Copies of this chain bind each other. A is one copy, B any other.
């Protein structure tokens, strides 16, 4: 199921950047995320949970991951894990993410091809975002290589769209590539995009929204939203910034 377009709140937890009074608590992640979610629930189109930041904390982080999933409740949630493996192994990841962590959507890496992506696409009422042109500097290394006059990321998109599926499919296109985003919208006007990279990574919210035009898209902001205040009432600042961003992304 495609999420509503708008602001995606990325819950990329960093214990070194959360307000100091929370850091020493064993449930610091849960208490921080609880307030972020409460402060943004009225304007967030969805939440994105990047598993790396929880796995980094070991077993305690895994507990925080499951607790965070519970807090998100009925809101739309993207489990951002960028998995991808041979068929039977991708099927195991799909179970972990869609069943056990109750993801509405997941992110998947395309390098291993069709049988590595199809177990995700085979889940009914699901949403799979395949990496296309990512927001990071390394997107220049392989994604932009030219094959028969076409960049690899566009070849990936065309190929993935030709595969069978029960759920919906879309792509990750970084906000740091506004020109390419606009170009992709002329080729794929109705395909859902997950657009990260606004804020800390350098993507400008207004320019990204303009480049995307009317295509279905969620615009993710993580560090640029979560860590704008280290005060005890940090959630007030997050609420105001989330409202500002959400308005921009709706217009």
A residues touching B (Cβ–Cβ < 8 Å)? 12, 50, 52-53, 55-59, 61-63, 66, 82-87, 89-90, 92-93, 95-96, 100, 109-117, 131, 134-143, 145-147, 152, 155-156, 159, 201
CA A86 to CA B83, docked complex, whole Å: 14
Most chain B CB atoms below 10 A, which of A96, A140, A143, A152: A96
CA A146 to CA B145, docked complex, whole Å: 10
CA A96 to CA B54, docked complex, whole Å: 9
* Contact for A52 among B92, B117, B131, B141, CB less than 8 A: B92
In the bound complex, residues from chain B placing their C-beta under 8 Å from that of A62 are 59, 62
CA A136 to CA B143, docked complex, whole Å: 21
Other A-B contacts than A82-B84, A112-B138, A142-B156, 15 sampled, CB-CB below 8 A, are A53-B92, A55-B92, A55-B93, A56-B92, A56-B95, A58-B96, A61-B96, A62-B62, A82-B112, A86-B138, A110-B111, A113-B137, A114-B137, A116-B136, A146-B147
* Contact for A136 among B92, B115, B139, B140, CB less than 8 A: B115
CA A86 to CA B172, docked complex, whole Å: 12
Which are the 6 A-B pairs with shortest beta-carbon distances? A113-B138, A113-B141, A55-B96, A52-B92, A86-B136, A56-B92
CA A100 to CA B218, docked complex, whole Å: 33
Most chain B CB atoms below 10 A, which of A55, A135, A201: A55
Q: 29 A-B pairs, CB-CB below 8 angstroms?
A: A52-B90, A52-B92, A52-B96, A56-B95, A56-B96, A58-B96, A59-B62, A61-B96, A82-B83, A82-B112, A84-B109, A86-B134, A86-B136, A109-B109, A109-B112, A110-B111, A111-B111, A111-B134, A111-B142, A111-B143, A112-B131, A112-B136, A112-B143, A113-B137, A113-B141, A113-B142, A114-B137, A115-B137, A115-B138
For the complex formed by this chain, how many copies does it contain in all? 2
In the bound complex, residues from chain B placing their C-beta under 8 Å from that of A100 are 55-58
In the bound complex, residues from chain B placing their C-beta under 8 Å from that of A84 are 82, 109
